[in-house]
Structures are given as C-alpha cells and as structure tokens.
Amino acid sequence: MKIKRIYAENYKTYRKLDLNLEVTSDRPIILIGGGNGCGKTTLFDAIYHALYGLEIKSVKHFEELFNAGVMVENKGFGNSQIVLQIDFTGMVLAKEEQYRLKRAYMVLNDRVVESVTLSMGGNNFVYGSGSSQSDRAQNEEVVNKIITANLPAELSNYFLFDAMKTSELVKEEQINKLIMNNINSVMGFSKYSQMRKAADTLLSEKKAERMENENQRKEYGKLVAEKQKLEEEVEKLNDDYAKALDYANEHKEQYDQLKEGRNADDVTRDKIRKVEQTIQATLKAEAEYLQNVDTMAKDIETQVIIPKLASIISTEVEVILHAKEEVANARINLLTDQQIELFTHNLVKVIEDRYMPGKRLDVPSLIEEMKLWQEKENTVEDRFAFFTPAQVSLLKDTVRTAMSNPFILLDEQREMLNQDIHDMPKQRELIKEYQHSLNGNDYTIIQLYENNAKQISELKDAIETKKASIKELEGKISKFDYEIPQIPDPQYDLLCKLPDFFKQLSTKLLRAKKASIERMMRDQLNQNLVVYAGVIGRVELSTGNSDEISFKMYHKDGNEIFLSQLNAGAKQTVMQVLLKVLYNLGDYEPPVMIDTVMGVLDKESREVILEHYFPDLAHQTILLSTDTEITTEHDFDRLQAYVAKTYTLHRDKQNQCTTITEDYFGLQTKEI
C-alpha cells in the first residue's frame, strides 16, 4: 500500500488540505515540518480517519471538528461538509490497483450524516446515512475488505504512531504482547489458528454423525459443547488479562511514586486548577453569549429573516431543481442537430457507395425523421420549461447558499451554558473538598493498582485452571474415538488430519519467524541502540508456549540487558527497531507514518536514526517533525537524498487555519 494523496476540507485546522504524497523507490521519505500547534498531528489524524472513518457523536462534536475560521466567516457551518479523501494503491492478486476513498460528513436536520465513496477500477461503491440497509451493508463490506487487505485498523497503531509514546510500550508485559500480536496478526498466523478451530468443529460434528448409539452421541455432544464454552471463557479471560496488564503499565510510575511516600498534594492542586479553569471558562462563555445575543439583535434581518425565507421555499424549489435535473439527465445522451446531420450524411454516403451504387437518398428528409424520432423517444416532460436557465440558477443559489440561523446556535449555547452555570456551585464545593484534603496523602491509586495486580494473578490462575479443564475434557472426548465405527470415509479421514496439520504448520512457521525476528533485532539494535551498539550478543524470544512468548536481549558477555534499566530514549529506539523488523517480516506493506519523529532521543541517537533507520524503514515513510528534531542546520542535509517531497505547515492565527508551503522550513531538496 502506498498513499498517493490526502485531501481534507473544513477539518480542524485545515480549510483545504491537498498534499501529493507520492514517493519513488530511491526516495521513499515525505518530510513534513511544522511548529507546535501548526497541524502536524491533525494531518496525522486526517490520514487515519480518511482510512477508518470519523465517529462524530453529536452536532456539538461536529462543530468541534469543523474549521473555526470557516465557521466564523459563514456564521455557522450551514450545508458545508467535513471531507476526508485519500488516494492510495494496493496489490490485488499480484496486480496494483488504484483506490480513492472519500468520506464526507455534514449536519442535516440536527443530526450528523455520513457519505462514503470508494472508487476503484472504474467502479464506485457508495453508502451513507441515507442508504438502504441492504445497500449499505453490501458496499460497506467491500470498502472494509479493501482497507483490511491493505492495513487492518487493529494493526494501524504499529505503522501510524507517535514516536514520543513508543517508549511507553517498552515494558516487559507490553512488548511481549506486542510481539505476540504481530506474529499472530501482522504475520498472518492467526488464520492458521482459525483454520484449526474450524477443522476441530467440523471433525466433532462428523464424529457425532458416525456414532450409532444415541446415548453416546448425546454424551459426546455434551462434552464438546462444554469444551467450546470453556474455550470462549478463556478468550474472555485473556481479554480481561490484557486490559489489566495495560492498566498496570499505565499506572506503574504513579504507583511507585506514591509507594515511596510522595505527597499527593500536587495531584490535588492540579485538580483544583482544572476545576477553577472550568469555572473561568463558564464565565467567559457567559460573556461571549451575551455579546452574541447583542450582535444578533442588531443584525436580525440578514441573520434570521433571510435564512428563514430560504428554508420556507426550499421544498418547492428543490422539486423544481429535481425536475430540471431529470430533464437534463434524460437529454444527456441526445444528439445535437449538428451531430444528427453529420452522422446521417456519413451513414448515407457509406450506404450509397457500398450497397446502393448509382442511387441517391433524400438526406434532408432522413435528417428530419431522425430529429422527430429522437424527440419522440424523449418521454421526459419539462414541467417547468417556463423557467430560464438564469432563473433556475438564481433559485438554486437562493436555497443552497450556505446560511445558518444563529438563533439555533445561540439556543444550543444557552442550553449548555445553563447547565454549566447550574454546575458552578457544585464545582466550588468540590474545590473546598479538595482543599480540605491537601494535608494528607491520597492512597487511592495504590489500592486500585494493588487490586489490579491481584486481579492479574487471579486471571492468570483462572486461565491456567480452565486450560487444564479443557485438556481433561479433550482426554474424555478422545475416548469416544474407539466407539466410532471404522468405516472407510475419505472426508472423515481428511478431517482427522486437518487440526494437527494446521497446528504443526503454525508451529513451524512461528519457529522460523521467531528466528528471523531474533536475528534482525540483534543486527538492528547493534546498529541503532547507541548505548549498547555493537555489544548485543543475541536477542531471544521464548520458545515455549506461543501464548507466553517473551522478549529478552543479552550482552556479548552473556548477561541479560533488562528493558527496565533502559532510559526513555533507549526504550524508544528498541520499540522503533522492533516495529521496523516486524514491518519487514510481516504480511502487510503499508506506509509508515511517524509523528514527533525524534521523541526523547539524545543527539547521538538522533544521528544514528537519521543515517541508519529512516532511509530504509519502509517503501513509503511520512515523517512529521519540528525544526528542533530534524534540524535545518545539519540533519536535513543528511536525510534529503532520500526525501521525495517536503512540506512545511504554517499556522495562520488570524484566519484560524493551517497553510502549506513546499519546503522544509525554507529548505528545498536537491536533485541527485
């Protein structure tokens, strides 16, 4: 998969964003610069949500996503849309296919509606809020299949990520889980597990059919159902276990600080500041509301009466416009008089020369008959023929010009403001409660963390217990094999072999992939992990149960290098190296997009990453950077030989939008 172009309209800080992101094999990098608050993360979000869609929960949420500058100019968003469109290529049956995926959102009748269009190979697959259930389901399935084939949403975080946050993943439980998820999903092993499970189910059904004794059949079915139920419970427990590990990772630092006796006053003061900020925001919103009411009262004619008039006549005008469009569509394939004359002359000439030599046909009569026939075939009557094109255009502009009644927005603002003002006494009481608690330590997090740790242990035990029960049931189920008549049946014999076949295949492929990961990780870490460059002897993935795979790295002298002892920059390097290795060995070839590219790396680590990591990271790499990360003084020159295109994002404070120039903070790439 390669992204060719991203287009966004009215999305957050972008009024109109239109970037060409095409790269070449020798220049795979798109370098996008911008200061803090200029729209780098928003660009990142635009690409992500163009692929996977926005979840807009309310009109208020739509307003938050809509460009503020356009909102001010148009006095609301009216009929304007938020548009996200991405052009990309992907491989289908060893052939490269071109795709254009467009998602549009607008407010209609006080609710947010969506429209999605996927164009590929001359075909359009369209669905939206107004689609019938069957059409939506059918076309949405096609769109989701295309996206999943190129980059499944659950794997996107491995290839579209914020480098600043990667070090948070380098905790023992997290990195082990990440490797396992990649091996199963990114590398495609999950499908073998699914196939084995399906084969087991089919085999169980076939065994039940072959049993002659009804009581045996019932007992066998009961055991199989019990085993399936236990397997479902294990899956649920594994999900809960993963969530508990996530919680432990996210709160470990805070827990450790509190355990060391850190006073919780700073946390409480921060809560007080946030509540005070909420109160100040409410007071400011109240002042703005009163100002807006005063402004609307002075300009009520243009802001209320005219939009109201347009809404009153909109239904009748839409009927006229629809009828006119039907007439236009019906006439779209009709020939003009000049085309009829030319076609008839040419056709008559061929007939006279080839089939009627020496004879001449009455061409003018034929032309008139052709015109009459065409008029007769055109059965669509123009009920509004008395409207001239100019009048039709005027009607369209009258009802379709983006206008909004500020009273609606003011009324929504009033309702929210009333609620916020109603909550202010409670917020002031909450501040007093926080202030009273400033003298003591807050051990709530400690208790929650320790309860979660206990839950982790209990979940792990429960998983092992249920797995033991499943193994016991499998033993009981296997005894029924002796009761099944040994009648030759090729289908049954094949089903008996399939579960073990898929299990053995998965194990062999997993072992080979693990060896490749270990080898590539060792080589990449020796090159990129500055603090241990050249001294990593081996990287080891556990070779035991695949559900408990773990990651370890060792010094050449034999001692283990513990992840917990690495600083934040080293952890980031480990994580980025892992992602590169898994990218190279995985089944997918998506672009890699990195925000805050240097994260917490020191100077030496940055130089190594620039030279050895980014140039061959992926076939398309999009880097979002400030000029303090990839600097204009030194870093740009080292990287530019691999850069296909450069862009710089600029914040226009007055117009509340981002503008774009084709450079990197004023620098241009050079041709080689």
Q: Where are the domains of the chain?
A: 2-151+588-661, 306-387
Least confident of 145-154, 325-334, 661-670: 325-334
User: Per-residue pLDDT for 629 more than 80?
Assistant: yes
- pLDDT of residue 326 exceeding 90, the answer is no
12: phi > 0 → left, psi -120 to 50 → alpha, else beta; which? left
Do the Cβ atoms of 4 and 29 come closer than 8 Å? no
Asked whether residue 50 carries a pLDDT value surpassing 90, the answer given is: yes
So what's the pLDDT on residue 646?
A: 96
Q: DSSP letters of 577-610?
A: HHHHHHHHHSS----EEEESTTTT--HHHHHHII
Give the model's pLDDT for residue 543.
Answer: 54
Handedness of CA 233, 235, 240, 245 (dihedral sign): positive
Assign residue 93 a region (left: φ > 0; alpha: ψ between -120 and 50; beta: otherwise). left
CB 2 within 8 A of CB 591: yes
Q: Is 126 helix (H, G, I), strand (E, B) or coil?
A: strand
Q: Residue 144 pLDDT more than 80?
A: yes
Alpha helices in 162-264 (DSSP H): 163-166, 172-181, 190-210, 214-259
CB of 265 closer than 8 Å to CB of 273: no
Give the residue, 261 or 415, on which the prediction is more confident. 415
- Residue 624's pLDDT band (cuts 50, 70, 90): very high
In CATH, which superfamily holds the domain spanning 2-151+588-661? P-loop containing nucleotide triphosphate hydrolases (3.40.50.300)
pLDDT of residue 33: 94
Say which range, 54-58, 239-243, 395-399, 496-500, has the weakest mean pLDDT: 395-399
Pick the closest to residue 210 from 438, 509, 20, 485 (CA basis): 485
Contacts 24+ apart (CB under 8 A), 392-401: 392/320, 392/321, 392/324, 395/317, 395/320, 395/321, 396/317, 396/321, 398/310, 398/313, 398/317, 399/310, 399/313, 399/314, 399/317, 399/318, 400/79, 401/310
pLDDT of residue 411: 76
As a whole number of Å, the CA-based R_g of the chain is 33
Backbone angles phi, psi at 79, to 5 degrees: -95, 10
Banded model confidence at residue 260, pLDDT cuts 50, 70, 90: low
Confidence of residue 585 (pLDDT cuts 50, 70, 90): confident
Check whether 62 has a pLDDT greater than 90: yes
Among 160-169, 567-576, 616-625, which stretch is predicted with the lowest mean pLDDT? 160-169
Confidence at 99, pLDDT banded by 50, 70, 90: very high
How confident is residue 164, by pLDDT bands cut at 50, 70 and 90?
Answer: low
Q: Structure tokens of 512?
A: 């080979």
- pTM (whole model) above 0.75: no
- For residue 151, pLDDT beyond 70: yes
Angle at alpha carbon of residue 425, lines to 420 and 427, rounded to 5°: 75
Q: How far apart are CA 115 and CA 131, in angstroms?
A: 9
Average the pLDDT over 182-197 and give the result.
64
Looking at the chain, the whole-number percentage of residues with pLDDT higher than 70 is 82
pLDDT at residue 103 tops 60: yes
Beta bridge partners of 561: 553
The per-residue pLDDT for 546 is 46
Whether the Cβ atoms of residue 113 and residue 105 lie closer than 8 Å to each other: yes
* pLDDT at residue 211 tops 80: no
Determine phi and psi for 339, rounding to 5 degrees.
Answer: -65, -40
* pLDDT score of 159: 76
List the alpha helices (DSSP H) in 437-567. 444-479, 490-528
Contact assessment for residue 134 and residue 125, using Cβ atoms and an 8 Å cutoff: no
179-193, 330-344, 414-428 — which is least confidently predicted? 179-193
Euclidean distance between CA atoms 96 and 93, whole angstroms:
8
Q: Which stretch of 68-82, 303-317, 446-460 has the lowest confidence by average pLDDT?
A: 303-317
Q: Taking a C-beta distance cutoff of 8 angstroms, is the pair 593, 600 a contact?
A: no
290 or 510: which leads in pLDDT? 290
Average pLDDT, rounded, for the chain: 81
In terms of Cα–Cα distance, which of 468, 476, 464, 484 is closest to 223? 476
* Model pLDDT, residue 143: 92
Asked if 43 and 32 touch (Cβ cutoff 8 Å), the reply is: yes
pLDDT mean over 88-106: 87
Sign, Cα dihedral of 351, 352, 357, 362: positive
pLDDT of 167 strictly over 60: no
Q: Which of 548, 648, 654, 656 is nearest to 30 (CA)?
A: 648
Is pLDDT of 645 > 80? yes
Question: Is residue 440 over pLDDT 60?
Answer: no
Q: Alpha-carbon distance 577 to 257, whole Å?
A: 30
**Residue that is written with structure tokens 């002031």 in the block:** 428
Cβ neighbour number for residue 471 with a 10 Å cutoff: 10
CB atoms within 10 A of CB 632: 14
Check if the beta carbon of residue 205 is closer than 8 Å to that of residue 459. Answer: no
Mean pLDDT within 634-639: 90
pLDDT value for 86: 97
Q: How confident is the model at residue 571 (pLDDT cuts 50, 70, 90)?
A: confident
The Cα–Cα gap between 550 and 176 comes to: 5
> Does 471 score more than 70 pLDDT?
yes
What percent of the chain lies above the pLDDT cut of 90? 25
Non-local (6+) Cβ contacts of 59 within 8 A are 107, 110, 111, 112, 412
The interaxial angle of helices 444-479 and 214-259, nearest 10 deg, is: 160
Here the tokens at position 242 are 């993963």
Please report the sign of the dihedral spanned by the C-alpha atoms of residue 181, residue 184, residue 188, residue 193: negative
Least confident of 53-67, 366-380, 462-476, 523-537: 366-380
Return the amino acid letter for 298. K
